[in-house]
Amino acid sequence: MQNAPPPSSAALLLWDVFCRVIDNFGDIGVCWRLCADLATRGHTVRLWVNDASALQWMAPGACQGTWPGITVRPWEQSTDAAQLARLPRADVWVEGFGCELTTEFIAAYVYSTKARDTIDNRNPVWINLEYLSAEAYVERSHGLPSPVMHGPAKGWSKHFFYPGFTAATGGLLRESDLLARQHAFDLPGAKAHWLQGLGIDWAGARLVSLFCYEPTALEGLLQQLDSEPTQLLVTDGRANHAVQALLARRRVDGSPPWHKLQIHFLPRLTQHEYDHLLWACDLNCVRGEDSLVRALWAGKPLLWQIYPQDDDAHNAKLDAFLDMLAADDNLRGAHHAWNDTRPAPLPLMNLNSWSQTVQLARQRLLQMHDLTTQLGQFIAEKR
């Protein structure tokens, strides 16, 4: 089912969403999508973030307050008692990916006369929004309370909210207009027009997007893509640097040039424009969490580079995702080669088979309520 806006009788709430940017902008990407989706549904959101620089290109105007219903606030203001005293209290607190609220922020609410004397003296519903995984523990942990054992809010409870791929989880972020936007992009001429806006002339060649870290199988991928006319659309950042480094090494080594592969280096894209990139391409190489979800909604063959962890915990997470997809041996082998989890070269990719697999998974996932809808229902129950 496609998202539907909440009924007119649904309570419209004030949300405080907290995000600490660690690296790679995945945290801020997911948190911003949630904030934007909440605001579109009529809620009011304050996004507290330690580094909002990525929003300048991800969501232009966000930091300047031009997105209705959303205010972006510097993290350090959450420790300023004078600033906090002037703000209306929120109905919901969301800790993005386990970032912890500052003690000063919690204390400003707990000890405020305003909070105690208000007619509606319910405590905010406190959510720990977790990372996405297809592993079995997600279903077991989703929705569980976590008692606060110390500090100003001692005796309260947070609740774990897990995104996921089954009905026993919190689902995936999916805006109510996403399918309609994708349908409009699929109309004749729309893709070519969008590519032309990026300075890319397209006459029907295979299109591949590349958003990655530094996969050791990168050269093997590009060798395969050179088997037929292909235009590789490389995102800005680490993917750009990885390809540039590979090209420089090949020049030094005297490697022969590719004949059918044309490489385009893209500027930084807004979140909406990144959706367009995924819809345009015949294969999407994605990384992390946010782009994986968007690639699933795009419904095109995908190759996911998972965020590597020192203890190799990402291996089990990758296998769980492939199990969820019902991936065949070819798709599994490609993912393990791309993630360097098994000592084998990248197999010859069967994109037709991959397309069927992703389409079936997409159809299953569309039957679930999206994350924002489920989160709203969860909040209503706890209030």
Residues labelled as active-site residues: 27, 289
What's the token pair of residue 328?
Answer: 């065949």
Q: Which residues of 45-70 are buried (b: 16+ CB within 10 A; e: fewer)?
A: bbbbbbebebbeebbeebbeeebebb
What's the token pair of residue 61?
Answer: 């105007």
| 105: alpha, beta or left? (left if phi > 0; alpha if psi -120 to 50) | alpha
| Cβ within 8 Å of residue 40, ≥6 positions away | 5, 69, 175, 176
CA dihedral 78, 80, 82, 87 (to 10 degrees): -10
| Cβ within 8 Å of residue 94, ≥6 positions away | 15, 16, 17, 18, 34, 127, 129
Cα–Cα distance measured from residue 13 to residue 26, given in angstroms and rounded to the nearest whole number? 25
314's enclosing H/E stretch is helix 313-325
CA-based angle 137:143:144, to the nearest 5?
Answer: 75
Nearest alpha carbon to residue 28 among 57, 3, 5, 69: 57
Helix axes 371-382, 26-40, angle to 10 degrees: 70
Cα–Cα distance measured from residue 378 to residue 383, given in angstroms and rounded to the nearest whole number? 9
What's the token pair of residue 112?
Answer: 């405020």
